[in-house]
């Protein structure tokens, strides 16, 4: 039961809200290489959930801050509260905290092509007795690329998870997303992603999400998505969040 729960929990929070510019990262698992503009901020308040047959997990809520520290670089912090249900057990507490930075090393405005890295560190915030969060320091090392043609944008990439701990194993995440700006207010898109086993007795997972962005104005945005696993057919995931950009 432990390994089954760990798979659901970590899949829920794998690349959860690894954000970038206004229209990337949240509400999807796949990220892009676009950092926050120099000297600008992004603030998120959101909830992400994953519902299974016997286990549920959610952030209630989580908060994220991104800042354009220097041109082509953003710094990133994510923290919040999490809820888990494992059979008859219920817990609510601090979830794993996340630190990272995004560096865009290619920005070809003429061809609409960008590339970057976004290394992340997951900091342990809980004890062994707590189901919420993780007890070991984890590291994610991804590379993301993006291509745009007018109102259509597509991006994706892959990364390697360093995942120490009893029964854990290192893993690979890969995903690809596409979206279209129907109006200045509404953008819709979808993604496909794959994750290799993250525990010694685990299995791979493939899933999809569809979602979008509602731009109330230049500063205020609503983000949403819902998804389903192809392999774990009883698993449904989703995201709902508010974003402030200044």
Say how far apart CA 126 and CA 84 lie, in whole Å: 13
In the chain, what are the domain boundaries? 2-245
* Cβ-based burial of 27 (10 A; exposed 0-12, middle 13-18, buried ≥19): buried
**pLDDT the model gives residue 133:** 65
Percentage of residues of the chain with pLDDT beyond 90: 60
Tens digits of per-residue pLDDT, 115-135?
A: 999 999 998 876 555 667 677
**pLDDT the model gives residue 51:** 83
Mean pLDDT across 229-244? 88
Tens digits of per-residue pLDDT, 4-33?
A: 444 444 433 333 332 222 334 799 999 999
Classified by CATH at the fold level, domain 2-245 comes out as Porin (2.40.160)
Say how far apart CA 143 and CA 179 lie, in whole Å: 19
Confidence of residue 49 (pLDDT cuts 50, 70, 90): confident
Residue 157, CA atoms < 13 Å, CB-side half-sphere: 23
Tens digits of per-residue pLDDT, 133-159?
A: 677 899 999 999 999 999 999 999 999
Mean pLDDT across 70-91? 89
**pLDDT the model gives residue 9:** 42
Say how far apart CA 153 and CA 30 lie, in whole Å: 13
Q: Which residue has the tokens 């979602």?
A: 211
Instruction: Give yes or no for a contact between 134 and 172, defined as CB atoms under 8 angstroms apart.
Output: no
Say how far apart CA 145 and CA 176 lie, in whole Å: 10
Instruction: Give yes or no for a contact between 9 and 163, defined as CB atoms under 8 angstroms apart.
Output: no
- What the block records as the tokens of 169 is 């194993």
The gap between the terminal CA atoms of the chain, to the nearest Å, is: 44
In terms of Cα–Cα distance, which of 184, 243, 181, 187 is closest to 212? 187
Q: Which residue has the tokens 């970038």?
A: 20
Q: In this model, does residue 193 exceed pLDDT 80? A: yes
C-alpha dist (Å) from residue 37 to 21, 42, 104, 134, 214? 8, 10, 11, 32, 20
Q: Is 167 left (phi over 0), alpha (psi -120 to 50) or beta?
A: left
Of 98-112, 150-164, 190-204, which gets the smallest average pLDDT? Answer: 190-204
Confidence of residue 244 (pLDDT cuts 50, 70, 90): very high
Q: What 3-state class would DSSP assign to 8? A: helix
Phi, psi of 236 (to 5 degrees): -125, 140
Q: What 3-state class would DSSP assign to 210? A: strand
Full DSSP string of 66-95: EEEEETTEEEEEEEEEEEEEETTEEEEEEP
């Amino acid at each position: 039961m432990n390994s089954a729960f760990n798979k659901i929990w970590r899949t829920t929070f794998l690349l959860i809200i690894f954000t970038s510019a206004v229209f990337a990262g949240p509400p999807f698992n796949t990220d892009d290489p676009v950092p926050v503009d120099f000297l600008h901020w992004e603030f998120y308040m959101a909830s992400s959930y994953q519902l299974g047959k016997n286990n549920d997990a959610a952030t209630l809520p989580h908060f994220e801050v991104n800042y354009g520290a220097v041109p082509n670089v953003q710094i990133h912090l994510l923290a919040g509260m999490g809820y888990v249900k494992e059979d008859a057990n219920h817990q609510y507490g601090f979830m794993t905290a996340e630190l990272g930075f995004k560096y865009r090393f290619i920005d070809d405005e003429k061809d609409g092509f960008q590339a970057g890295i976004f290394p992340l560190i997951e900091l342990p915030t809980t004890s062994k007795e707590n189901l919420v969060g993780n007890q070991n320091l984890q590291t994610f090392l991804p590379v993301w690329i993006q291509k745009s043609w007018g109102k259509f944008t597509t991006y994706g990439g892959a990364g390697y998870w360093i995942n120490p701990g009893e029964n854990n194993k290192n893993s690979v995440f890969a995903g690809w997303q596409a979206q279209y700006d129907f109006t200045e207010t509404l953008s819709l898109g979808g993604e496909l992603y794959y994750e290799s086993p993250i525990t010694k007795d685990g299995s791979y997972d493939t899933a999809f999400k569809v979602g979008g962005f509602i731009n109330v104005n230049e500063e205020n945005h609503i983000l949403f998505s819902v998804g389903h696993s192809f392999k774990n057919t009883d698993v449904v995931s989703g995201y709902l969040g508010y974003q402030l950009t200044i």
